[in-house]
């Protein structure tokens, strides 16, 4: 009889332990459901677009990510991310993904995406390596910089609204990647205003700032192609990035238009004051004058100083041996 009692006691203990485990499992399952619900809510409330890519397919997106592309998470799931990325930016994006898969630390990078009716958007992204179903995957966080204050603060010059140096260098790097693939050229134009210091000394810095704003507006009238970039990197220094260049005449045509645009004095602010603007322009061309952004910027700078030494309203192509200017200087003498 005592043996039966012992067996019954053991069975009761097992039943009690089973009930305890069931209760613990139910509590854990509830916590997991609540945590998943919390994560879903946080992801869908987040201003950052989030997606998970595995095997060249998007297996998860939040609401914000889908809205960037004018669709829903359900519609975008299982699509290839490469169909959504601007073709010329495939290589730099793949380079960042490969770096993450190889264990490198996450970093921010920019690329262009296409969203409905071929609209191009600038995206700031970062990636991280995760595992889903015991397989490697990439978690991406993205911000649409096409519009809004974030883009203005981080990547534009606060005075003129032009691109700043950070954005210029990023676009120049991507332009070089695209030029390699298409076997064409990229041109960097470094513009410096002659005697701009005299404007500040004579009329004050407020007038100088108003003149810089007017100059930026004129540059926008000259450089209109979507894939080209105008940047102010400080003071009276401006850069123009020209992409898809197949011959030198495309560059000199833009330069001709630049000098024509500044042939007459510019109105400054709301006053009746008009000031004559003289430019010195240096040009460096990928791959002739450099294979990377730093070399092109440096050589365009050198060409600009060569032009400045010769006379006002002049331009030079970089020449590694003599830094000689255009002999015919095109259509005009462009004398001061």
* 236 given a catalytic annotation: yes
Cβ atoms 244, 227 nearer than 8 A: yes
Q: What is the pLDDT of residues 179-209, one digit of tens each?
A: 998 899 999 999 999 888 888 888 888 888 9
The pLDDT of residue 332 = 43
Query: Per-residue pLDDT tens for 275-300?
Result: 999 999 999 999 999 999 999 999 99
Per-residue confidence (pLDDT) for residue 327, from 0 to 100: 43
Chain segment 138-185, per-residue pLDDT in tens = 999 888 877 655 556 667 888 888 999 988 998 999 899 989 988 999
Q: pLDDT at position 35, please?
A: 64
- Stronger pLDDT, 229 or 37, i.e. the higher one: 229
CATH class, domain 156-317, is: alpha beta
Tokens of 105: 């630390």
Q: Kindly tell me if the per-residue pLDDT of 301 is higher than 70.
A: yes
**Which among 289, 296, 281, 290 is positioned nearest to 330, based on CA atoms?**
281
Q: Domain spans of the chain? A: 11-144, 156-317
Q: What is the CATH class of 11-144?
A: alpha beta
Residue 259 neighbours by CB distance under 10 Å:
19
pTM score, whole prediction: 0.59
Cα–Cα distance, 112 to 248 (Å, whole number)? 27
- pLDDT over 80 (residue 334): no
Options 144, 194, 236, 301, the catalytic residue:
236
Distance CA 178, CA 142 (A): 22
The answer to whether 304 and 236 are in contact (CB under 8 A) is no
Instruction: Flag whether pLDDT at 2 surpasses 70.
Output: no
pLDDT of residue 175: 92
Q: Average per-residue pLDDT in the chain?
A: 83
For residues 312 and 10, the model is more confident at 312
3-state secondary structure of 135: strand
Say what the pLDDT of residue 161 is.
87
Tens-place pLDDT, residues 13-25:
777 777 777 877 7
Residues contacting residue 39 through CB under 8 Å, at least 6 positions apart: none
Tell me the pLDDT tens digit for each residue of 107-116.
788 888 887 6
The tokens describing 134, both together, are: 């015991």
Q: What is the pLDDT of residues 41-89, one digit of tens each?
A: 666 667 788 888 988 899 888 888 888 887 888 888 888 888 888 888 8
Between the CA of residue 144 and those of 18, 74, 123, 149, what are the distances in Å? Answer: 52, 20, 5, 11
pLDDT over threshold 70, residue 36? no
What is the rounded CA–CA span in Å between residue 219 and residue 257?
A: 10
């Amino acid at each position: 009889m005592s043996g039966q009692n012992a067996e019954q006691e053991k069975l009761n203990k097992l039943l009690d332990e089973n009930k305890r485990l069931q209760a613990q499992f139910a509590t854990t399952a509830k916590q997991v459901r609540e945590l998943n619900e919390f994560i879903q809510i946080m992801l869908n409330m987040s201003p950052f677009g989030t997606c998970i890519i595995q095997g060249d397919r998007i297996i998860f997106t939040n609401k914000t990510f889908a809205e960037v592309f004018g669709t829903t998470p359900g519609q975008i799931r299982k699509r290839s991310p490469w169909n959504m990325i601007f073709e010329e930016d495939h290589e730099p994006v793949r380079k960042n993904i490969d770096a993450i898969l190889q264990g490198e630390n996450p970093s921010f990078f920019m690329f262009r995406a296409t969203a409905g009716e071929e609209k191009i958007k600038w995206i700031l992204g970062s990636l991280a390596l995760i595992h889903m179903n015991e397989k490697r995957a990439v978690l991406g966080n993205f911000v649409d910089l096409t519009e809004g204050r974030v883009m203005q603060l981080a990547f534009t010059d606060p005075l003129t609204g032009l691109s700043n140096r950070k954005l210029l260098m990023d676009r120049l790097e991507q332009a070089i990647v695209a030029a390699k693939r298409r076997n064409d050229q990229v041109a960097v134009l470094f513009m410096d205003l002659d005697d701009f210091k005299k404007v500040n000394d004579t009329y004050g810095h407020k007038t100088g700032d108003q003149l810089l704003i007017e100059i930026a507006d004129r540059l926008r009238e000259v450089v209109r192609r979507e894939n080209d970039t105008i940047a102010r990197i400080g003071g009276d220094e401006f850069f123009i990035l020209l992409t898809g260049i197949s011959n030198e005449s495309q560059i000199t045509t833009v330069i001709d238009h630049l000098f024509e645009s500044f042939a007459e004095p510019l109105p400054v602010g709301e006053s009746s004051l008009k000031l004559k603007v003289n430019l010195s322009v240096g040009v460096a061309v990928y791959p002739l004058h450099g294979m990377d952004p730093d070399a092109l910027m440096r050589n365009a700078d050198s060409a600009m100083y060569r032009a400045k030494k010769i006379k006002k309203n002049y331009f030079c192509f970089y020449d590694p041996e003599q830094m000689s200017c255009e002999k015919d200087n095109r259509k005009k003498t462009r004398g001061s």
